[in-house]
Each structure stands twice: as structure tokens, then as C-alpha cells.
Structure 1
């Protein structure tokens, strides 16, 4: 796949400078420090203008893609019709969104989470966008910043693909990475959503089957509506610099209620008295209670963010402060 190469580095952000300093102080000098800077701080941009790259892949019909005659296709969703927006709802010809807040427990056991019930007129209304409109590693912006740049009415953080160099990454019908290693989630153009094993297929095969977007994180939370076994033992990334995803944590998840009927959940955490977070099983039970039959865990912790109508819905880490991420899922307003 031909990729437009970046010709100049974008300015580093303050957060990267702080991380760089901490890494330099805590790791041994020389090779270890250089490795850490390269791995966690320095941007590695493979495509510097994703919008242009995706546009260059357009012009192929959906039927041709499903027949396997092209590796990608761009779809433009018409959102020009009048929409009705309130503090917690959005309704247009292309989508209906309802935001709700749930609080359970008390004291330090309080858990607060946010639910977006979404019905799509067309599956391709749900889109993906990258930080800085660039694809690669260590490229980050906040969910809100990426959402605003893409005129989103609603958004959640994605799978933080940029933290790693593996996984199948298909976004808006375009292949960006084809290194299957884990359990992924595939959104199809016909409105179905499936959990799949990345190691048993390829990005090209998924496109031929009609896949529009993929996420590469996990684990799957529900199997046919039942809490999946072994989810408390799953590790997505075990390499240096990434802690366990187990225990009570802030979480983000995607659930499927029916064709073109999705539910997105962001659980805040690490803030006693406001929200302690939930275990993986607790997250699965939330999704089950919302009526999802399929549910999938994506990047959490400080990245867990829900955005609606120009502002944050949740309160990340109880500090009302977003952490940068590499990508979002969103619906344009």
C-alpha cells in the first residue's frame, strides 16, 4: 500500500516533554533512554495527511469493495438535513443519540458511568479520525480536539492504535495496518458488528467482506449476551510502559443491541467518592444490563472520554482533564 510520507516533524507537546524528562531520569543513560524516547515519545508519522490519503482511495463503489476488487473506499455521509439537539439528545436523518448518566454505590465504592444509546440510519455514519489527521505511533491529541476538528456531535476515545505497531487497523473503509495479533472488533457496512480473531484473516479479506472500521484492543466482554469467561486474566499489552488493564479502572466499551443500534459506555474511575472504576467483569455486566449481546473493551484509564455537542460528558479521573489519545470514533453533526 503506497503511503504518503511525512516530510517534517510536528512540534512536540508539553506532555511529551514531561514524559521525556521522566524517562531520562528513571532509566539508565545511553541506549535505554534512547529506546524509551523512541518508543513512547518521538512521533513516527507514516501518513501525514490522512484526509488526503483517504480521498485518494475514493471512487470505488461499495459493491466493488465487497467483491474484493479494491482495498478501500470512502463514503461521505449526508448530514445536511435539520437536526434537533438538546443537552442530552441529538436527532437527525442519519442518527439518534441519547446520553444518560448512571451512578451506583456509595462512598468510596461509588461508580459513575455515562451511556450513549445510538441508532444509525447508515452504518457508515459512525466514523473514525486520527490525532493531527496523521497515522503512526506516538501521535496524540485529546478526544475533544480530534472531535472538534471533525465537526463531531458525538465521540469517544478509540483503541489508542498509536501505542503499538500491531493489530488490524481499517478506518472509514481504508487499510492502515495489517498485523493481526489479538481479538478485534469489526464494524460492517451493513450494520452488523462482530468480534473476530485477527490472526485468522487479513485486512484485505475483511474489506472484501464489507468491513468499514476495526478496533484492536479487547477483550470481548459478552458472548451471545453472557459474560465472557477469562476476561479478568486478559492482557492487551504486557510490554514495558503499559500497566495491567485489570482491577477497578476507568473503562470505555462498545456494545451491540441490534443492527445499527449501538451503545457506548465510559466509566470514570480512580476518583474515590465520585467513581472508583469497574473491573472487566463489572463492565461486562453493565453492557449486559443495557441489553447488549456483543460488547468489546477498548482503551481505558485516563483515555476514557465521551464528548457530546461541544464538550466533555464525563469527568476523566475526577479531574475534568483529558489525556491525549491517537484516535476516536465519532458521529458528525
Structure 2
């Protein structure tokens, strides 16, 4: 994530990429030549800081998921049958009571064209929606593309998450495991009963959320729909005070998640910065899209070049960087 991804920028994507590369290279020269502030910037934004080297092992040791008992042998045999009966097409996936349906929507014309992708997701159980981290590690500045993380975790469907690794604050609970407890902003909580709730991180703790049945949290924002209505003033909100991460206003590529009903979610990825294909949308327009899809709660995730939807082994949208950009995490449904 960088400053250009959250402010309006008329520069063509390829030129922006060349500029970004030049700035990074130039920054490294400054680091080598001058040290000081340049060294701090490189350490803050470029250098990986790994806190947990093996997330899979960490989750296995700390998961709050129910322990398997003897009755699960029958369930396992049933699951094997279900897996054998899973059906994947170009736009849908069905496995028992879990289903994912992906559609493309195009509105407007000419410079006003907006193209976005909708994934309507029904879950057999709330814990079917999982999170995964880049390189199976937790920390800052650890990134991989959404498709790489998805493939490594056997995902049939995935979107980019909240890019938790860009910051050191927020409450991070993933797959029933606490990773960070540094309340800072408005978050989104997914509960094991299939409900989803917008909440104030500063009014609770990771331990309390976990005790109350939270399975996953996201810490980005802002929330754009609550109690079935668009939240007022979302165009004036800032995510936090991180450098390059203040403003998310204007017409941008976007990623959002919303709740329609218990265990019924909707995910939207809006493409942008491509005249004649998709200009991107404002937060108010994003809220309107989510409302039109039936969402009663909805939340904005990392956008710009991060906005990516993956389905059936490939990226279905057209990321604004001209290709996927690395991110720190995804939400996914395994195939």
C-alpha cells in the first residue's frame, strides 16, 4: 500500500509503476548514502518484520475450533463424499451447502463506465470463510499476491484482505486465533454464528471478542453500511494516521465485504483507473452497490492496486496496477 493507491491520480498505471520503482530505487540510494530518516523509511515500509514464522503451526496450537472427537469419523467420511461431489464452473462453485457465484456488472458508458465483480457466498458454517497470510507468516511488510496466497491454501475463491501488515495497530483475529491486540479504529468482526458486526476496537479487546465467538476480524474501513443504511459522512473519513494511508476518497478501485443474512455474504471488487473500462467508485457509490445487493452491513477493505478477486484458479478482475500487487492477507473459501 502506498500514497498513490488512496488518492486520485490521473497518471497512467504503467507510468505510475515506473515512477514508484524510481522512487523506491531512489529511496534506497538515500538510505545507503545518508542513513538516518531514509533508513527508518526503508525499515518501516520495505523490510520484512516476521513475528510468527509458521502460521499454520501457530494456528494448530492455538485454534479455538472445537476438538475432533470419535463421532467425527463418520463426519469425515461424509465430507469426503461431499468433496467428491463439489461442482465448479466458470462462474460458480457448489459443495454441499456452501456455494460461490461470481458475476461481472458493467454500468455507465464512456468515461463514466464502472466495472465490478460480485461474489455471492453462502456458507455451510461461518468457519468455512477463512483467512490466510502471505508466506504463511505474520508480521509487517510480508507480502505475496492474492492468487499466490489463495493457491497455497487451496482456495476456490478469495479476495484481498485489510493489508494488516502495513500497520502495527488494530485487532487481528484470524481463524479463531489472536495475532494482534492494539485497538485503533472501527473494525469488522465475523462471528461463528454466521453474523457480522461493525465495532469500535477501542471499546473492547481481542480476548473479549474471542470469548464472544469472533472467528475473524478486519481492521481497515471505513464501515459503509450499518443496520441496512449507508453511513453518513463516509467521504470525509480517514482510515488512520499512517503515512500514505490517510485519504481513501475519490473514485478508486475498491474491495468490500457485506452481510446479507446469517452465513450469507457478498464480496465486491470494483476495478478503476482505466478510462472506458472502469473509473472506480467513491465510498458512497460503493455503499450504494452493496445496498443494491442486499447487504445490511458492509465494510471497505484495502483498495487501489490491492483490489483483487480470485476464483477457480485465476484472477477475474483487472487490478489497476496492470497486474496483481502483493498484499499481506486474504479472505477465502477452500475448494
The answer to whether structure 1 residue 38 and structure 2 residue 43 are counterparts is yes
1:166-192 deviation per Cα after TM superposition (whole angstroms, max 9, x unaligned) = 000000000000001100000000101
Q: Which residue is equivalent to 1:21?
A: 25
What TM-score do the two structures reach when normalised by structure 1?
0.87
Q: Which residue is equivalent to 1:309?
A: 312
Deviation larger for 274-283 or 85-94? 85-94
Q: Which residue is equivalent to 2:270?
A: 267
Q: What are the residue-to-residue correspondences of 1:1-333 with 2, within 5 Å? A: 20-24=24-28, 29-58=34-63, 61=66, 78=79, 80-242=83-245, 244-317=247-320, 319=322, 321-333=323-335
1:30 is displaced (CA, Å) by 2.2
- SS of 1:140's equivalent in the other structure is coil
1:206-261 deviation per Cα after TM superposition (whole angstroms, max 9, x unaligned) = 01000000000111111211110110011113332335211000000001100000
- SS of 2:27's equivalent in the other structure is helix
- Call closer, same or farther: CA 1:232–1:93 in 2, change over 3 Å: same
Partners of 1:59 and 1:200 in 2: how far apart?
23
1:21 is displaced (CA, Å) by 1.6
Cα pair 1:157 1:304 within 8 Å, conserved: yes
Q: Which residue is equivalent to 2:13?
A: none
> Of Structure 1 and Structure 2, which has the larger fraction of its residues in helix?
2
1:87 is displaced (CA, Å) by 0.3
1:17 is displaced (CA, Å) by 8.3
Cα pair 1:268 1:318 within 8 Å, conserved: no
1:39 is displaced (CA, Å) by 0.6
Partners of 1:30 and 1:254 in 2: how far apart?
41
1:148-172 deviation per Cα after TM superposition (whole angstroms, max 9, x unaligned) = 0000000000000000000000000
Consecutive aligned runs of 4 or more in structure 1 exceeding 6 Å deviation = 16-19
Q: Which residue is equivalent to 1:11?
A: none
C-alpha root-mean-square deviation of aligned residues, in Å?
2.1
What 5-or-longer segments of structure 2 have no aligned partner?
Answer: 1-19, 68-75
1:100 is displaced (CA, Å) by 0.4
Partners of 1:38 and 1:205 in 2: how far apart?
33
Partners of 1:214 and 1:268 in 2: how far apart?
24
1:107 is displaced (CA, Å) by 0.9
Partners of 1:245 and 1:305 in 2: how far apart?
17
Cα pair 2:254 2:302 within 8 Å, conserved: yes
What 5-or-longer segments of structure 1 have no aligned partner?
Answer: 1-15, 63-75
- SS of 2:320's equivalent in the other structure is helix
